[in-house]
Amino acid sequence: MFFSLLPLAASAQTADEIVAKSIAARGGMDKLKAVQSQRISGTITFGPGVDGPFVIELKRPLKLHMEVTLGGQTLVRSYDGKSAGWTINPFAEDRTPQPMTAEDLKNIDDEADFDGPLVDYKSKGNHIELAGKGDVEGKATYKIKLTRKTAKARTYYIDTTTFHVLKWDGTTRVEDKEIPVENFLRDYREVDGLQFPFEIDSDSPASPQERKILIDKIELDPKIEEARFGKPTPPPAPPVAPPAQEN
C-alpha cells in the first residue's frame, strides 16, 4: 500500500512549483524583469454604447499613466511610483487634477506593478497557498490563493496544461463597499518572447456592470518621459459659445 502511494506523492505539486511554472509560461523571470517599461493600448467597454480607447503606460518602479476616453471625454490617472498620484475626472464638476485619495494610493500597486503580485511574492509581503483545483470554461486549473500583507486575498486559476492564468477573483472597493469581482484572461499572444492576454473580461455578482478590455497593441520598453508620471496637465476648457445677437 505504501509503494502504491508513491506515484501520487511524486506527482503532487506545491504552490511555489505551480507559480514558478506559470512565470515560465509567461516567458520566464529573466525576460519579465528585463522589461523596464510598457505601453498598452486598446478598447475598453462598460456596456452597450459605453466604450472607447485607452492607453496605459507603465515604467519601473511602479510608475503609471493611464488615459481612458468615453464619449469624447478623457479620464486621466498618473502615479509617480513613490507617494503621489493624480486624477482628472472629466465628468466631475472640478476638471482640474486632483490628488489621489488614500484609498487610491493603497491599491495603486495593483495597477502599476506590471509583473503582477505572483512575481517575487515573498519580497512584496504576499503569501500563497494551493487551494485545490477548479475549472474555468471547461479547462482544469490549479487554484492559488494569494494573501497580501494587508490581509486582502484573491485566488488565481492556473491552467494545468499551459500554466497560463485563466481567471482571478477577489474583491474590490466601490463607494466604500467591498464587492466580489472576477476577471477572465483570454487570447494569450506572444510579444517579444513574453505571453500576454489580449482580452480581459471583468464582472461582479454584486453589480450589473461588466467590463471588457480588448488589447490592440503591447509595446515593450518604449521611451516614456518622466513627466508623464507627474501631475497631469488639465484639459483645455470647452469653447464658450458667443452671446446671441439681437436683431
pLDDT single digits (tens) 83-95: 899 999 998 889 9
pTM for the full model? Answer: 0.87
Better-predicted residue by pLDDT, 107 or 215: 215
Contacting residues for 195 by C-beta, under 8 A, at least 6 apart? 25, 26, 27, 164, 188, 189
Q: Is the pLDDT at 64 greater than 70, yes or no?
A: yes
pLDDT in tens, 110-127: 889 999 999 999 999 999
pLDDT confidence of residue 48: 86
Q: Which three cell numbers stand for residue 71?
A: 464619449
> Do the beta carbons of residue 54 and residue 211 sit within 8 Å?
no
pLDDT exceeds cutoff 50 at 235? yes
Q: In sequence order, what are the beta bridge partners of 57?
A: 39, 65
Lowest mean pLDDT across 69-83, 111-125, 169-183, 231-245: 231-245
Give the model's confidence band at 179: pLDDT under 50 very low, under 70 low, under 90 confident, else very high: confident
Instruction: Decide which of 3.30.9.10, 1.10.10.10, 3.40.1190.20, 2.50.20.10 is the CATH code for 13-35+116-220.
Output: 2.50.20.10
The percent of residues in the chain predicted with pLDDT above 90, rounded, is 70
d(CA 106, CA 225): 25
Q: Is 144 exposed, middle or buried (0-12, 13-18, 19+ CB in 10 A)?
A: buried
pLDDT in tens, 116-163: 999 999 999 999 999 999 999 999 999 999 999 888 899 999 999 999
Confidence grade of residue 175 (pLDDT, cut at 50, 70, 90): low
Residue 202's alpha-carbon distances to 66, 95, 210, in angstroms, are 18, 28, 6
Three-state SS at 26 = helix
Mean pLDDT of the chain: 89
- At 242, the pLDDT band (50, 70, 90 cuts) reads low
Do 80 and 105 form a contact (C-beta atoms < 8 A)? no
Which residue bears the cell 506559470? Answer: 22
Domain ranges (residues) in the chain? 13-35+116-220, 36-113
Classified as helix, coil or strand, 102 is: helix
